[in-house]
Structure 1
Amino acid sequence: MRSAIVCLGIAAVLVVGCGKDDYEAKRPKYPTPKCEAVGEDAAKAFARFVSAQDRAGDLPVVVQQFHAHRKAIEAAIAKRDPALAQRLKPVLDKYFADDALRARAACGFAPLAGGGGGLAALDEWSRSPEMRAINQSIWNRKPAPSEEDNAEMTPRRKTLLRDIGTAMALQQIQANMDVVASGEAANLIAALDAPVSQVGAPAAKRVVSIEEVVERWLTPALIKISEDDLAAFLNFVESPFGADYYVALTAAYDFRNGDWYAKLYEQLREASAPGDLPAGNPGKDAVIAEARNLLRNIATPAAAVDATHRLLQVERVDPRNPEIHLLLAEAAIKSTTMPLGPDQLRVVIESPNYEQADKHIAKALELAPIDPNAHMWLGRLRYLQGRDDEAMQAYQRAGEIDPMHPSLDLNLGDLFFEAPDYSKAARYYLAVLAKPESQPYQHYITMAHLQIALRKGNRIADYPRHADAYLAKYPDAWNIRLDYADYLMSTNIKADKIIAVAEPVPDAWQPARKYGVLSAALVRKASERVEKKTGEPIGEGMAAMRRAISLNPDPRTLAEAVCRSGVDAKIAVFVRDASKNVPAVASAMVVCALRWRRADIIRVVTPSAQSTVLSQPQQDLMGDTPMCYAAALKDVKAFSALAKLQVNPVVKCNDGNPVAERLSRMAYGGDRAIPQMQGIMSRFYRKQ
């Protein structure tokens, strides 16, 4: 970009000069909002983060947009009841004050405002006159005054504009900006004196396409900007930090996002002095509420079956209630479960339950054709049936009716996962996590799906960053903590990090799972603090090993912690010898080491194991004996160690044959391991 564009462009946007110092001197100075999520140690970095947003113009534009939202609300009040305006004005003054709006927007960025590379990148980006000019032209929707000729629309330029619009989530931002003027303000005011149970969905609005964003927004706004500068701008918005930044910025434009909207509605409702709620039918309503609880909070197949029985009773009483039909459809879907493989989100099957769900959804749509929940469940059913094009159509219709539907982003993420478009799926999952949880288990499911999408998309290295940011915002998300700790155990990360993630989980919350990962982390820590010559744990390492042993009086769980920890055989020996029952722990280590393919551990602990125990079928080995399992794995070293211990070779394997017969049946493949194991059998079991 040439200097004339820069100087004139920035001057037109924020009345600033070309130099950095001149710009800093002239731009307005705003106080840093106070956010609960920002502790004293992070306050300085957060202040720098907010200053960069002010410098770039992002926060002022959000505030300006919400002032426009207030005007739409006041117009809706005047249309409904002019006398109501005075009663509601103090509430609007409180929630639409500049400080309140800045805090609402800025506090949503608290998880990103650490002092790392992201903050440095944002700071540098916001100080670049070229980048500021582009950013502010986008938000002002018009180019800065310039003597330069308008840029021609080349294929490269069109691609750059499209990528910028997509990366900045401008489609969703435009939709969020439209929603109040398109009817949300009127809905908000109309809902003030309606029973809470009858408050409607957000206003419907048109879907904004990326083509419209490019043609009507970016093309005229950036017509003076060179393609090279657009490419430089795109480098920031498409970076991992930029992607997180614009997900958070999208949430800032979302009128219904966060507790700000809920508190605004609550105080407007109180100020408008609504009437009492109607009594209704407590018997029927109680049954529906219990069924909803079974489906959403218990959420097991058995609970879904229970909910079905309850709902069928009230369906006979009120057959034209669309909510009952949708809950019956939800119950039919949730009572149909299939085991999923690794990195799998669905199994496409035909099921009578899906036929029942289809009938109930069709009835609900007949009774309430613009109910977004009906279209959302239709989309979910079609997704589970593998009819993805129909699922997308249903989701799009639900989004047209209710753009803020709490299931929309998660369901779209799952659909793009199957496309497969793992990058787009991850963006939808991150959009879910950027908003407060609106349904039970929503964030837990989404975080699990995000991990799979990142792994399938070869971006699993990004997962810890997202998990850390989420737990900084929601430290009591115990299930997500355990999932994250499980993931960390599969990496080579230091034990202290894993312990810090797992330790806060209450002992009563899935204790077997917590102690399992915590014990493995403690064993790993024991391997990180050792005496150099002997390899024996010392200091903190010894304390960690003793704690792992104390947490696991059962030899099987202690052995599993050792195998899972990934430590070398020396540490396994130290744990075995420090335990209270060496033979039992050694036997359990042999079993888990077979499953984890740890021949080094098997070699050193087998001599201390119990031959009688290892001669028996093991549940952890799918009902095989250890020797049968070693034969199936063609693990000659493990097979030899077990033979030296003289475990019984004639106990039948899980296929009904002794190990010698299993080896004979495997011999036809020509694998050299088979005759080696047969030789071991003849050497150690001559009589048999």
Structure 2
Amino acid sequence: MRAIVMGVGLAVAVLATGCKKEAQDTGPQLPIPQCGNAEYDEKAFAVLVRAMDRTGDIAEVNRRFAQHRATLEGLLAQRHPQLMPRLKPVLDQAFADARLRERTACLLTGISGQREGIASMDAWSRKPETRAITTAIWTRKPAPSEEEDAKMTDKRRALLRGIASAMLLQRIQANIDAVAKDEAAALAVVLESAPQAAPPKPSPVAMETVVDGWLAPALVKIPDGDLADYLNFVEGTFAGDYYVALNSAFDFRAGAWYEQLVEQFDRNNVQTVLPGGAAGKEALVADARRSLHQIGTPAAAADAQVKLAQAERMDPADAAIKTLLAEAALMTAPRMPVTGEQLRAVIQAPNYEQADRFLAKAIELKPDLADAHVQQGRLRYLQGRDDEAATAFDTASKIEPEHPLLNLLRGDLAYAKQDYAAAANYLQAALGQPEGRVHVHVTALNHLQVVLRKTGRMAEYPRIVNAFLARNPQAWNVRLDFADYLLTDNARAEVVLQVIEPVPDDWFPARKVPIVAAALIRKAAERLDKDGKPIGASQVAMQRLLAMAPEPRALGEGICRSGVETTVAKMVLDTSPAPKVAATSLVVCSLRWQNARMAYGIAPLADAVALSGPLPELNNDSPLCYAAATRNVRGFMGLAKLQVNPAQRCNDGDTIAARLQRLSYGSDTGVAQMLDALNRFYRKA
């Protein structure tokens, strides 16, 4: 995460955009957002923000969310009036104008690398005609004018339909409707103890509803010529990316904002208080335990630490509080990435020292507290002190043999000691227990997959997961992970769909949609006629894919994961409303998955600008640099023929030419071919 929060005004001041400064731009701006470790072009992003403020796009998102809050607050007041004093500060923070603007920022950083497109939008947004049309669209009212109303003709209707389609207004309206009908209610029931069914998928909105009920009356004073100029921009390649990103900002559940709001609701679902209204020790501990054992994220653990510190001041001799403080310290420790066959990375961290002190005191206060010994074993394992970890787990087992974490942690320890048979047994035992702590089953299955792969027993994995899902059919995360595995293992489409389809559409759409799309595309490729068109059951799968209408990027990812041939990929791309965006996503995914043939065949259809800069999916390398590093000769050739920008430096600071020279030792003919392509396709540069 960036250490310094910079104002967008500063970024605008130092950006050489090639345009004159416009002193009139004094409206509110987005902050430079803090979106995890996401990298983006701050200077170009600042220009984009200025353009969005001119068109009123940001203000419209915030206005809609103010309406969403009113809907949600009304439901909460009806269902949970006793919790409203605790929830109002949460709502005030989540729906604050600055917080919503930052949320929008985080959903738009992905297009900040498209500097040319942003420059064109910057110029477009300065036109009075642009502002008049966009203002009328968002306010849904025509601008005051003495001009006669424009008559509806076939030409004008086609213009309005084009604008609605390019700006994704049908989806925006569906998202607005969903909050009023379902999604605010779904958030309200987070506070209810009974399990709730997933809300239905937002109902689609007909194009005629948008055209006749929204655009026609709002734009009745706008002449056809201005509408045609407006449509010419919003149908462009960059605008396609922009409106996909803006559409996600209207989605109530998109991004980390919604997940954090759910967590805050869950954390504040505590009703045990002292007479003065402050939370008592038991309430604080119960709330912290809920955060640690039912939410289980680092953010939830950090929140638990605050509450536990208050509870400890009330009762310094409570061993359970000290154990929970140690657990929170371990959950908020820096996480080192592990790859391949690793399950842990041994490091030294201040959190470990803090946890050690809490656990030593807890065991001194209460030697028979199983949780304290389990957490001490967990700490010793993370420190690489495996014999001490085993001793702690043995002690815990004598006190509480069915402790919900014990089998998982013992399985990890056995793997570290290279006792793979014992590791597999412990992890399968963890799967056989009720999930007393969040993420135990998902983690155990992930670790078991590593163990089975290490020992050449992967054939057992599907049987184990299917048996688990038979007992736990609503384990949605497990279904997502298993469907991912099945795609990689080239399972038949029906098998993948059987696993993934029970997952609610709104559970994790960013993962579910590409998997479903990949399975349908795989099915659509099974039976083709002599012209390469799907027939029979394959045609049905193709029709279902079209009805599903995945986002262009999700479609590209789905094609990539499906494993189909390039000819089928091109056929599917033709169904996308933004084929260039989908093709770009497909090329990036193909580079990541080392599908050289697909990367080469689809590159000519992709966006050269979008493939010129560093991408998070490629370890912040540019596609050219990534193809060189992975010796993907055909992928490199496709990018070179597309004429992506070769001036972008690689993530190690080298130019692409320097990287290839570094790789050219020995007799690797592939590197020589890439050097030759660099010289041929970029001779003028």
TM exceeding 0.5: yes
Query: 2:628, 2:674 within 8 Å by CA — same for their partners in 1?
Result: no
Partner of 2:578 in structure 1?
Answer: 427
If the length of structure 1 is used for normalisation, what is the TM-score? 0.55
Unpaired segments of 5 or more residues in structure 1?
1-20, 338-350, 435-440, 505-517, 525-543, 572-688
Provide Cα deviations, 1:93-149, integer angstroms capped at 9, x if missing partner.
Answer: 112111111222234334545694333322222221111111111111122222222
Query: 2:76, 2:84 within 8 Å by CA — same for their partners in 1?
Result: yes
Aligned partners of 2:131 and 2:216: how far apart in 1? 17
Aligned partners of 1:107 and 1:391: how far apart in 2? 34
The answer to whether structure 1 residue 564 and structure 2 residue 562 are counterparts is: no
Unpaired segments of 5 or more residues in structure 2?
1-19, 271-286, 295-402, 405-428, 525-536, 681-685
Aligned partners of 1:324 and 1:107: how far apart in 2? 24
Provide Cα deviations, 1:250-306, integer angstroms capped at 9, x if missing partner.
Answer: 122122222222222222222223684689995336666544677899999x88743
Structure 2 residue identity aligned to 1:106: A
Partner of 1:248 in structure 2?
Answer: 245
Query: 1:73, 1:185 within 8 Å by CA — same for their partners in 2?
Result: yes
Partner of 1:334 in structure 2?
Answer: 487
CA shift for structure 1 position 154: 1.8
Partner of 2:54 in structure 1?
Answer: 55
Aligned partners of 1:431 and 1:176: how far apart in 2? 22
- C-alpha spacing 1:378/1:114, structure 2 compared with 1 (3 Å): closer
**Residue in structure 1 matching 2:228, options 221, 231, 250:** 231
Provide Cα deviations, 1:627-663, integer angstroms capped at 9, x if missing partner.
Answer: xxxxxxxxxxxxxxxxxxxxxxxxxxxxxxxxxxxxx
Aligned partners of 2:504 and 2:267: how far apart in 1? 30
Aligned partners of 1:259 and 1:122: how far apart in 2? 27
The answer to whether structure 1 residue 34 and structure 2 residue 32 are counterparts is: yes
Counterpart secondary structure, 1:566: helix
Provide Cα deviations, 1:466-504, integer angstroms capped at 9, x if missing partner.
Answer: 462644x98547999624875455517999947833647
- C-alpha spacing 1:118/1:168, structure 2 compared with 1 (3 Å): same
Partner of 2:541 in structure 1?
Answer: 391
Query: 2:430, 2:444 within 8 Å by CA — same for their partners in 1?
Result: no
CA shift for structure 1 position 192: 3.9
Partner of 1:83 in structure 2?
Answer: 82
Counterpart secondary structure, 2:188: helix
CA shift for structure 1 position 155: 1.8
Structure 2 residue identity aligned to 1:70: R
- C-alpha spacing 1:137/1:412, structure 2 compared with 1 (3 Å): farther
Q: Which has the larger radius of gyration?
A: 1
Structure 2 residue identity aligned to 1:75: G
The answer to whether structure 1 residue 283 and structure 2 residue 393 are counterparts is: no
Partner of 1:142 in structure 2?
Answer: 141
- C-alpha spacing 1:128/1:493, structure 2 compared with 1 (3 Å): closer
Aligned partners of 1:520 and 1:264: how far apart in 2? 43
Partner of 1:307 in structure 2?
Answer: 461
Overall identity of the aligned pairs, in %:
28
Query: 1:395, 1:412 within 8 Å by CA — same for their partners in 2?
Result: no
Counterpart secondary structure, 1:425: coil
CA shift for structure 1 position 209: 3.1
- C-alpha spacing 1:192/1:430, structure 2 compared with 1 (3 Å): farther
Structure 1 residue identity aligned to 2:626: L
Query: 1:33, 1:107 within 8 Å by CA — same for their partners in 2?
Result: no
Provide Cα deviations, 1:514-560, integer angstroms capped at 9, x if missing partner.
Answer: xxxx9984486xxxxxxxxxxxxxxxxxxx5xx445xx3xx333x44
Query: 1:161, 1:218 within 8 Å by CA — same for their partners in 2?
Result: yes
Query: 1:134, 1:225 within 8 Å by CA — same for their partners in 2?
Result: yes
- C-alpha spacing 1:33/1:24, structure 2 compared with 1 (3 Å): same
The answer to whether structure 1 residue 462 and structure 2 residue 569 are counterparts is: no
Structure 2 residue identity aligned to 1:247: V
- C-alpha spacing 1:51/1:178, structure 2 compared with 1 (3 Å): same
- C-alpha spacing 1:224/1:495, structure 2 compared with 1 (3 Å): closer
Counterpart secondary structure, 2:571: coil
Query: 1:62, 1:252 within 8 Å by CA — same for their partners in 2?
Result: yes
- C-alpha spacing 1:323/1:107, structure 2 compared with 1 (3 Å): closer
The answer to whether structure 1 residue 263 and structure 2 residue 416 are counterparts is: no
Work out the number of aligned pairs and report it. 478
If the length of structure 2 is used for normalisation, what is the TM-score? 0.56
Provide Cα deviations, 1:137-177, integer angstroms capped at 9, x if missing partner.
Answer: 11111222222222222222122111111111112222222
Partner of 1:187 in structure 2?
Answer: 186
Structure 1 residue identity aligned to 2:92: D
- C-alpha spacing 1:461/1:293, structure 2 compared with 1 (3 Å): same
- C-alpha spacing 1:113/1:521, structure 2 compared with 1 (3 Å): closer
Aligned partners of 2:224 and 2:206: how far apart in 1? 22
Provide Cα deviations, 1:40-67, integer angstroms capped at 9, x if missing partner.
Answer: 9965654443222212111111111111
Structure 2 residue identity aligned to 1:390: V
Counterpart secondary structure, 1:245: helix
Partner of 2:342 in structure 1?
Answer: none
Aligned partners of 1:484 and 1:523: how far apart in 2? 8
Aligned partners of 2:451 and 2:256: how far apart in 1? 22
CA shift for structure 1 position 89: 0.9
